[in-house]
Structure 1
Amino acid sequence: MSHLYKQLRIHQVFGANTDVGKTIITTALVRASALNNNRVFYLKPVSTGAPQDADDEHIKRHAGPQKHLVDAHCLFRYGDPVSPHLAVKMASETQGGLKVSVPSDETFVGSVAEHIRKRARLASGPGHMYVETAGGVHSPTLSGTTQLDTYRPLFLPTILIGDSRLGGISSTISSFESLLLRGYIVDAIILFRDEYYRNFEYLTQYFAERGTHVTALDPPPPRLDSAENVANTEKYYSDLVPDTLKGDIFTALEHLDECHAKRIEELDSMPRRTLDAIWWPFVQHGLVKTEKDVSVIDSAWSDFFSIYDTSSGRTSPSQPKSLLQPQLDGSASWWTQAVGHAHPTLTLAAANAAGRYGHVMFPQATHLPALKLAERILQGPGKGWASRVFFSDNGSTGMEVALKMALRSFIVNSGLELSSAEKKNLGIVGLRGSYHGDTIGAMDACEEGVYTCEWHEAKGYWFEPPTVSIQQGRVAISLPPALSPLTGDQQTVEEFETLSHVYDVGQRLESPLAKHYRQYLDKHIHTLQADGTRKLAALVIEPIVMGAGGMIFVDPLFQRIMVDVVRDPTLFLTPLPVIFDEVFVGLYRLGFESAGPILGINPDISVNAKILTGGTLPLAVTLASDRIFSAFKSESKVDALLHGHSYTAHAVGCQVANATLDLVSRLVESDLWVAAVRKWAPEGASATTTRVWSFWDPEFIASISCLDVVDEAMALGTVLAIKFKDDDAGYASHSAQTLLQSLRLPLDDGSTSAAPGGAPFGVHYRTLGNVAYFMSSLNTPRATIEALEDRLWRLVSNIRRS
């Protein structure tokens, strides 16, 4: 991941094009750094062409009078003077057809990262390092991935070498914007002072208005085909980098040093400033004692944060560590990540829509991103039942919309003449432990609990659900006390051969347990109806998993029968509208697009958010059937769904959502998914209606569920939950947080790391009382998950229950 050292300033050098003078200007920087008595390291990760013409050799020749302070290296060298991706292919051809291994992006970046770490250990005092790229910013690396994306995990601050030639203004600005779109820090632009095209004049003013430093340097003399060229070049460098330590190059050097110092100073001040200014959600500030309790996230990439670690800066000079340490985003940033942080496809989609639309009014209007998204959502999770899509800001507001839809449609379709008081007293049926967001209406659709507020008025009835888990290595359904007597004895656990059998709801509908569920629900809902205290108007459930309630994996059969019961004409003259809150579980978080096919039944209304925009920005969609939509349709304005948000269907979010769904549709067919499915449901196993599976290893889940401190474990899709034994279980418990606290620290014991660049990594995780949960993206490499499984196993297996 990112590298930042107190004593070693590192900059990566990109060019606005090929042949713009990257190596010449970098040589000048190296020479100036050495003249300032800095230890200087130069790295050319990939070099193509004749060895004598290699850039690292040029650096060595012209490092100046302090060349003993300069260390220059190249990691991957190929003989043909072509693009690196082509050089690898040509190397294979010149070796008689023998296959030449192409380093993956991970291997390539890991090699660069390891070289940086080794050089940091050599720089016992102040030092500078320059990592020079090849060609332009989007020139491909060995794998064919463009440089901007390949190097992004390292997140090194950059110097852009501008183009002083004809057309160079455009290529320089375009390159600068490409760097910004991928989150790079551009500390300076340096280019030659061409007196004919005078690009430097325009670019200096252009970038000054954007707060970016520009330095113009005298151009080199024309290249000569003789030994005289070396002498001419050396004289040029002597003039450009005089031993008086004065001139434009030293001004640029001073600016780069200031940028480095200011970045560290800012990072160092952020914990205190945060404690003085921020009110966090779901955090008891009374428990945040020191600045060390604040996680400073400098950047993020793929599944990892880059965390500022002040303790690293206090290590011995002989063993310095980067001030930035990788930390696995173990909660997928509150369940939002779909394809990893800062995915360039999503970034570009957002930028494109922002540039085309900004934000535009949506009522009685349309734009292409919103229309395309609505159409594909109707053909995705809404296929076969939904007819309309309503846009809102986030999951909680999407649920507010869903509740409004359900209550109005119940009143209209039931034909009941209700008083104002009776309308306000309408209630819902749900499950204990449910959570639908923090807005007031969504809170009222849950029983009173830790998330509710002083105005909370629980409007409904919530059944305690039976749950699915792995206990002592066996698949089990645990029945709550209210359901246990229905089995004819006091047994509270029913075991199954595999998870697939549990989620084969169609096969289980005629089972004895199904009959018990139906009997129980029929009886209690009939009693609620007859009581008359509150008229039931909707069923609201989080299908399959109730997230915030404690990662409660509900028996899908129980939820299916709940839907069947509220649609039973012998109990309800008009079927109750059914809402699926799929904000958390929808769009493949659990390995399937929506819960409908698992339960074997569709809702009337459903809500999707979280994964919808790939963790880039908030957006939610509420899907409704035609029956729900028709309840609002008339000739009167007051009958309309008078609900909306200023940023309804914002084009940026819709464009990102479309790009996310494109990526996800390809992931579903990927080798990563196929391999994971086969582990849980190998070929030849008995077929079920829907195969359930997880990215987490089934043997790991079974093994960890057998540990003494573990009550149960469970996994589906990207989600892993471990419930620890605790006499004081519940949201207020700190047991899971306490037991796993060492996960946050990197395990630097020589074990294999799956963090970008190969560095040991810590784990950022969230807990829900005595439940710890972990969540991957939809494309997290298996190696990363295995590394976390290994960390968890080593930690949890060594915990002894008191």
Structure 2
Amino acid sequence: MLFGSSEGNCTSIEDCFIINSSRPLNAMAPVGAGLWRTLRAHQVYGANTDVGKTIVSTVLCNAIQRQKQRAAFLKPVSTGPLGDADDRHMKKYGAGTLTKCLYQFDEPVSPHIAAKQKTKTVPRDDALLAAIHKTLSQWARTELDFALVETAGGVHSPGPNGNSQADLYRPLRLPIVLVADSRLGGISSSISAYESLLVRGYDVQSVLLFRDDYYQNHDYLGGFFRKKSIPLVSLPAPPVKPSQSDADSLARDEEAMFSYYRQASQEDSVAQLLEEMKIKNVERIDRLAEMSSRAQDLIWYPFTQHHGMRPKDITVIDSAHDDFFQTYGTSPVDAAASELRPTFDGSASWWTQGLGHGNPDLSLSAAYAAGRYGHVMFAGAVHEPALTLADTLLKTLDNPRFAKVFYTDNGSTGMEVALKMGLRVACDRYGWDASKEQISILGLKGSYHGDTIGVMDCSDPSVYNQKVEWYRGRGHWFDFPLVKMVDGRWKVEVPAGLRQALGSDSEFESLGTIFDLDSRANSETSQLYKEYIRQTIQDLVKKQGMKFGALILEPVILGAGGMLFCDPLFQRCLTDVVRDHPDLFTSDAVAQTSDGSWSGLPVIFDEVFTGLYRLGRPTSASFLGVDPDIAVNAKLLTGGLIPLCTTVASQEIFETFLSPEKSDALLHGHSYTAHPVGCTVAVESIKTMNAMNENGTFDQYKTKWNKGAGAFPGKTGPEVWSVWSPDLLHDLSCAESVEGVFAIGTVLSVSLKDTQGGGYTSNAAKGLQQQLSAGSHKFNVHSRVLGNVLYLMSSVTSKTESLQELERLLRTALV
């Protein structure tokens, strides 16, 4: 039988209510991490089972009570008969400690085994966390001073749903009291438990264990933890349980335990430890309180105008887990509220988050590689992570042109490499000398490929580069039709200045039909696009004498330029024209005789933002039906954990750099090229996302969109879908203040009307950003704006409940 208690102590059947197995558990809001100024709350973990967690907890609570303070003890999950329950032991020996049990399974086995027999009544992990946080919050509003939340078994003992407790309780991130193991083998298990908690981002603040003069684990571990600046307290061993169960034996045992707790709770080391725990709680809050002011004094922020900036404008992040930051901010109306609040990471931390903050699988992969390699130099060498990643990436991208993987550290430098590759092969084929003549690129208006000087010149003049002294803007950038939903209808809007050349705006019945390029390829619109592109390039080359060395595109969405959703047909036509008409770029016969992988110009796809499932597919190139000659991936490459970038190219492009001369090589690199930690994490990230794509994780979203908003009518190709609901797009697109919206994959973009014309310097989206920042009682939202555009981005692992709450906030603000 499973008992649950929402109030009081789960110490008898009468004190508990039986959870109704026919009632579905409601979805819970994300919980904030636990940090209160009025309540010092800690979580008790054991290095193993049967190490005396409850005895240690009882000693600490007795000591608190002796200091004329009030203590509380919370057992989230307990198994076994009620008479042996840990909370009942605390109630008996805890000197007045308030006790509570949330879920009690009567089977004396691990919670996941007990729960397996009661599958209809197993508490969800988020429900369990919410109940813990609610209980602690209620205690913080009383006169309680100190609380312990005790786990079951060891650090990795499973919770009711089979998840390791170290992961289950991680969102709370309470400071840890680790009960070490004083038995044979306890040194190893205690250090292992500590490292397991450390790699998950816990703060182990204190260690306690029983003294044993034979094994002397307390002596060895004391030295170990002293080096970590973590205090260790050794307690006298508790009385041995009587072998007999008669009344006299039980009475003597009871008296012995009372005597033990009286003596142990009065030890000076215990009192000193509790004082240190108190000081650490205050110091942690004080550090958080002053961080924004110190940051303003010391830090120069990226993409930020500091003029008029105040400390309150800076978000203080204590930790992050899943899709949420834990941000500091006291409640003006509730002095006992938690100092930390869950804040949805609405920009996916500048588009990097794919598998959630604090992902334990990625963290362990990073720790393994750090321990195995640290970093090793890469030129002329190879290590397994780099080789495995290259192989995994090439298979995932599934582009028959690709053969070689070049490693860099971020998207901007990866694009620098791509640019060097593209310009070199074009100059080599066409016989150009870049030292004597200007070689330019073709692209789209609003493109952005990074802040390094070379790729900065690959973008048209904008707020990002116009005041950079070395900027020259070496290229031509096409204006293009935009995809958006307006008043409930999908539209392809043609810029006013191009309507004579490209035709009028078009409406489509679904987003899927916009991407049905096989059907659209023979349309009149396609012919207009191609003729406009061909004629423009011809005039630039023949009449203005321009030379072009590469076509560079951000497939589908131009991110930093303002979340510009380009008509995929236009990008397809641009690529086709460049490849099908090499005669546009030179009259030299050599241009017509290549039997290699590229024609006209090398095609470079910047998939730093849009690649690797950001838009719902392994590559954004697949939406266009184009295999580029060079592609760059970063952002989601490592799931949001560590910087890494790859530039992938064809064999023919690679061979252009082959020569007896060292100076003909691709002389580009970084000290941390292909660092093993990044490569190992990237392999784990890609494999995880590929598995999600194959095992049906995204089917719930595909089903919603295939009912009309995203289907390919009559087609069987890959779906176009989003984690954001079609109904939300329809409602927002009809809002009076909204100019247009779109969603694809994990991306949602809302363009707001601006009488001043919009653009990056617009403030039209600030009001919406502020409303999301205020949030609801469940959580608030950290978001970024690009002028009059506010965008939101989820991870591929985002929970449906969180997305639904975000959609509610958007509707409240706009509809």
Bigger Cα displacement from structure 2, 354-363 vs 500-509: 500-509
How far residue 108 of structure 1 moved from its aligned partner, in angstroms, is 1.8
Q: Is the 8 A contact 2:630 2:649 kept in 1?
A: yes
1:744 maps to 773
The 3-state SS of whatever aligns with 2:396 is coil
2-structure distance, mates of 1:699, 1:196: 69
1:84 maps to 111
Q: Letter of the 1:2 partner, please give it.
A: A
Q: % of aligned pairs identical?
A: 45
2-structure distance, mates of 1:692, 1:765: 25
1-structure distance, mates of 2:565, 2:759: 16
1-structure distance, mates of 2:203, 2:695: 33
Moved over 6 A (4+): none
Provide TM-score, normalisation by structure 2: 0.91
Residues 276-315 of structure 1: pairs in structure 2 closer than 5 A: 276-289=297-310, 291-309=311-329, 311-312=330-331, 314-315=332-333
The 3-state SS of whatever aligns with 1:76 is strand
Deviations 1:15-45 (A, max 9, x none): 0001111100100111111122222111011
2:257 maps to 233
2-structure distance, mates of 1:684, 1:565: 26
Q: Is the 8 A contact 2:323 2:345 kept in 1?
A: yes
Bigger Cα displacement from structure 2, 379-388 vs 760-769: 379-388
2:20 maps to none
1:35 maps to 66
Q: Is the 8 A contact 1:501 1:688 kept in 2?
A: no
1-structure distance, mates of 2:428, 2:501: 37
2:804 is the alignment partner of 1:790: no
- Say which of 722, 727, 744 aligns to 1:699: 727
Q: Is the 8 A contact 1:504 1:689 kept in 2?
A: no
How far residue 190 of structure 1 moved from its aligned partner, in angstroms, is 0.8
1:763 maps to 781
Q: Is the 8 A contact 1:163 1:171 kept in 2?
A: yes
Q: Is the 8 A contact 2:447 2:560 kept in 1?
A: yes
How far residue 739 of structure 1 moved from its aligned partner, in angstroms, is 3.2
The 3-state SS of whatever aligns with 2:307 is helix
1-structure distance, mates of 2:276, 2:769: 43
Deviations 1:211-260 (A, max 9, x none): 11111111111112422111000000111123xxx522111111111111
Q: Letter of the 1:440 partner, please give it.
A: I
How far residue 533 of structure 1 moved from its aligned partner, in angstroms, is 4.1
2:130 maps to 110
Bigger Cα displacement from structure 2, 736-745 vs 553-562: 736-745
Provide TM-score, normalisation by structure 1: 0.93
Q: Letter of the 2:372 partner, please give it.
A: R
2:342 is the alignment partner of 1:326: yes
RMSD: 1.4
1:204 maps to 222
2-structure distance, mates of 1:59, 1:618: 48
Deviations 1:178-226 (A, max 9, x none): 0000000110111111111111111111111121111111111111242
2-structure distance, mates of 1:553, 1:100: 45
2-structure distance, mates of 1:253, 1:149: 26
Deviations 1:552-579 (A, max 9, x none): 0000111111111111234235310110
How far residue 321 of structure 1 moved from its aligned partner, in angstroms, is 1.1
Bigger Cα displacement from structure 2, 788-797 vs 596-605: 596-605
1:482 maps to 497
1:498 maps to 510
Q: Letter of the 1:441 partner, please give it.
A: G
1:441 maps to 454
Change (3 A) 1:89 1:594: closer
The 3-state SS of whatever aligns with 1:88 is helix
2-structure distance, mates of 1:131, 1:368: 42
Deviations 1:722-755 (A, max 9, x none): 000002211111110223302112413xxxxxxx
- Say which of 265, 269, 273 aligns to 2:294: 273
Q: Is the 8 A contact 1:499 1:692 kept in 2?
A: yes
Change (3 A) 1:689 1:77: closer
Q: Letter of the 1:474 partner, please give it.
A: R
Q: Letter of the 1:428 partner, please give it.
A: I
2:484 is the alignment partner of 1:469: yes
2:471 maps to 456
Q: Is the 8 A contact 2:39 2:139 kept in 1?
A: no
Q: Is the 8 A contact 2:40 2:146 kept in 1?
A: yes
1:605 maps to 630
How far residue 672 of structure 1 moved from its aligned partner, in angstroms, is 4.2
Q: Letter of the 2:743 partner, please give it.
A: A
2:762 maps to 733
2:369 maps to 353
Q: Is the 8 A contact 1:42 1:72 kept in 2?
A: yes
**Aligned residue pair count:** 759
1-structure distance, mates of 2:749, 2:690: 26
Bigger Cα displacement from structure 2, 522-531 vs 572-581: 572-581
How far residue 684 of structure 1 moved from its aligned partner, in angstroms, is 9.6
How far residue 675 of structure 1 moved from its aligned partner, in angstroms, is 1.0
- Say which of 173, 177, 180 aligns to 1:159: 177
1:23 maps to 54
Deviations 1:348-401 (A, max 9, x none): 000000000000010111100000000111111153110100000000000000
How far residue 670 of structure 1 moved from its aligned partner, in angstroms, is 4.5
1-structure distance, mates of 2:651, 2:481: 32
- Say which of 565, 569, 576 aligns to 2:577: 565
2:156 is the alignment partner of 1:128: no
The 3-state SS of whatever aligns with 2:207 is strand
Q: Letter of the 1:10 partner, please give it.
A: A
Q: Is the 8 A contact 1:767 1:773 kept in 2?
A: yes
Q: Letter of the 2:302 partner, please give it.
A: P
1-structure distance, mates of 2:432, 2:748: 48
Q: Letter of the 2:784 partner, please give it.
A: R
Deviations 1:268-290 (A, max 9, x none): 1111111110000011111312x
- Say which of 562, 582, 589 aligns to 2:607: 582
Q: Letter of the 1:565 partner, please give it.
A: V
- Say which of 392, 406, 428 aligns to 1:412: 428
2-structure distance, mates of 1:306, 1:710: 31
2-structure distance, mates of 1:731, 1:397: 24
The 3-state SS of whatever aligns with 2:719 is coil
The 3-state SS of whatever aligns with 1:644 is coil
1-structure distance, mates of 2:683, 2:723: 24
2:29 maps to none
Q: Is the 8 A contact 1:159 1:186 kept in 2?
A: yes
1:652 maps to 677
Q: Letter of the 2:558 partner, please give it.
A: M
The 3-state SS of whatever aligns with 1:495 is strand
- Say which of 208, 226, 236 aligns to 1:218: 236
2:541 is the alignment partner of 1:520: no
1-structure distance, mates of 2:497, 2:404: 39
Q: Is the 8 A contact 1:672 1:781 kept in 2?
A: no
1-structure distance, mates of 2:254, 2:399: 70
1:757 maps to none
Q: Is the 8 A contact 2:582 2:601 kept in 1?
A: no
How far residue 316 of structure 1 moved from its aligned partner, in angstroms, is 4.3
2-structure distance, mates of 1:227, 1:454: 86
Q: Is the 8 A contact 1:711 1:724 kept in 2?
A: yes
- Say which of 161, 167, 191 aligns to 1:149: 167
Q: Is the 8 A contact 1:500 1:690 kept in 2?
A: no
2:698 is the alignment partner of 1:677: no
2:5 maps to none
Bigger Cα displacement from structure 2, 170-179 vs 114-123: 114-123
Deviations 1:646-666 (A, max 9, x none): 100000000000010121012
2-structure distance, mates of 1:215, 1:176: 15
Bigger Cα displacement from structure 2, 224-233 vs 300-309: 224-233
How far residue 87 of structure 1 moved from its aligned partner, in angstroms, is 1.4
- Say which of 794, 797, 802 aligns to 1:779: 797
2:392 is the alignment partner of 1:380: no
1:548 maps to 560
In structure 2, stretches of 5+ residues that fail to align are: 1-31, 592-599
2-structure distance, mates of 1:684, 1:362: 46
Change (3 A) 1:101 1:520: same
How far residue 427 of structure 1 moved from its aligned partner, in angstroms, is 0.1
Deviations 1:513-555 (A, max 9, x none): 1111011101110001113443111100101000000000000
Q: Letter of the 2:77 partner, please give it.
A: V
Q: Is the 8 A contact 1:589 1:611 kept in 2?
A: yes
